[in-house]
Amino acid sequence: MIDFRVKVKELKKGQRIAFIATLVTCLLALMKGIIGYLFGFEVLMADAFHSGADLLAIFASGFGLWLASRRKSAKFPYGLYKAETLVSLLIAAAIAYAGVEVFREGYQKLFQLVPVRQFPFFPIGAAVVSIIVSYVLARKEKKIGQTLNSQSLTINASESFLDIFVSMVVLVGIVLAYFRIPFVEGGIIIGISLFIFGLGIKSAWMSLLVLLDANLDPRLQEEIEETINSIYGVKGVGEVKIRQAGPFKMIECNIETSPTLPLYRAHELADKVESFIMENYGHIESVFIHVEPAKKSIISAIIPVKDINGLDSRVHGHFGRAPYFIILRLDGENIEIEDFYINEFLQEKKHVGVKVIRKVIGYKLDLLFTSNIGEISFYMLKDNFVDIYRIEEGQTVQEVLDKYRNGLLEKVVSPIHTLEDSQINN
């Protein structure tokens, strides 16, 4: 899991930028409202009202991130992360409402012309300042929002970028009003209002989907399933469930492993999968792994042999020194020879078995049948969740498989020879 102190530190970054943006937006709204009123520019006053809606939305975002940073409790065991998403829904409603208000102003401007006696230096200056400040805020909110995976800050950033265009329209409207050109100002404002309203509806829909635990990223889900399945010891992966909780994700999945795996080893495998997910994917708050015995009937097995003669190949007396290895797929009564691996390390003096294992491990082996195996190779195979059975030298592969199916083979639970022997022979 993410360390709580790290989470709080990240969330406070979002809070800080949200509250700074609240103060700056408040000052912008006051500036545009006062200048619009004093100089008789209703379009500037409408933009001030729009900034006021943004002010409430940004403050709500900061408040939501503050709630999300609160510690878990008995009443809220999953934390208050979704408070941020709930606030995002309120932000989206505010954005949609702002779009309606801007539309109304634009519609009125289609039929109104206000006489202007002097060039509007102050209204134009207010619009230019609004454009510059909105641009700086939008970039900062977008950067922090993406870093924290904060939905509300990302929505605010999108709205701030739209504020730039709204302020541009206001600037054009002020100039057009000065030159008494009808219809253009209102038409442009109506167009922008539709974009704002669309953003609000889209953001509200996304917030609702998050609150309803919808699958918002099927591509990430498939990627996690595929990468978990590549972890050695995992024999199958159930559906990965990803739950968005504010800026964080909570992941649940079922994995299958060997039915003969001891409980402590199954727990180790679950920890391995959990650590893999936490290290390779960002903004993960928690991972829950449920381990089940594999239901698949296909088993992968390897046997060291003296020759290449199909199922009549003879067992070699030592794992690391075998010239060949037969790779089998067992599916009930069906036997399929997948490959014959030629031992390319026979001329080397030490740790041949280890080098062979590194080569054949890609077959995702379940079973090894051998008459002799050293300590290093034994523990390396066990670490990769491979079950080992002891067989007699000289037997055919078919005879080995018949005994395995009849339960006549002894399971190897410790190395057959010591580490000292391995350094000489393996």
User: What CATH number is attached to the domain comprising 311?
Assistant: 3.30.420.130
8 A C-beta contact, residue 326 and residue 307 = no
Quick one: which of 32, 26, 31, 35 has its CA closest to 53? 26
**390 and 269 in one domain?**
no
- Taking residues 149-171, report their average pLDDT: 72
Among the three residues 187, 211, 235, which one is the final residue of a domain in this structure?
A: 211
Indicate if the pLDDT at residue 200 is higher than 60.
Answer: yes
Which DSSP string corresponds to 356-415? HHHHHGGG---EEEES---HHHHHHHHHTT-EEEE--TT-BHHHHHHHHHTT-SEEP-S-
Q: List pLDDT tens digits, range 355-395.
A: 888 888 877 788 899 988 888 888 888 877 788 999 999 99
262 and 316 part of one domain: no
Predicted TM-score (pTM) of this structure: 0.60
In this prediction, what percent of the chain has a pLDDT beyond 90? 12
Total domains, the chain: 3
Residue span of the structural domain in which 230 resides: 218-293
The first and second tokens of residue 80, run together, are 């208050």
Give the end of a domain, one of 195, 211, 227.
Answer: 211
Q: Are residue 274 and residue 353 in the same domain, yes or no? A: no
Distances (CA, A) of 57 to 21, 94, 95, 106, 153: 10, 6, 8, 22, 10
Whole-number Å distance between alpha carbons of 150 and 108? 37
Are both 34 and 171 inside the same structural domain? Answer: yes
Q: Which of 58, 65, 61 is nearest to 7 (CA)?
A: 65
- Angle between helix axes 42-68 and 4-39 (nearest 10 degrees) is 170
Average pLDDT over residues 224-231: 85
Same-domain status, 137 and 11: yes
Q: Which of 293, 310, 337 is the last residue of a domain?
A: 293
Same domain, 113 and 135: yes
- 167 and 25 in a common domain: yes
Residue 145 and residue 32 share a domain? yes
| Domain CATH for 272 | 3.30.70.1350
Q: Mind listing the pLDDT tens digit for each residue in 264-317?
A: 778 888 888 888 888 888 777 788 999 888 766 678 899 999 999 999 999 998
200 and 228 together in one domain: no
267 shares a domain with 326: no
Tell me which residue of 191, 196, 194 sits closest to 155, measured CA to CA. 196
332 with 380, same domain? Answer: yes
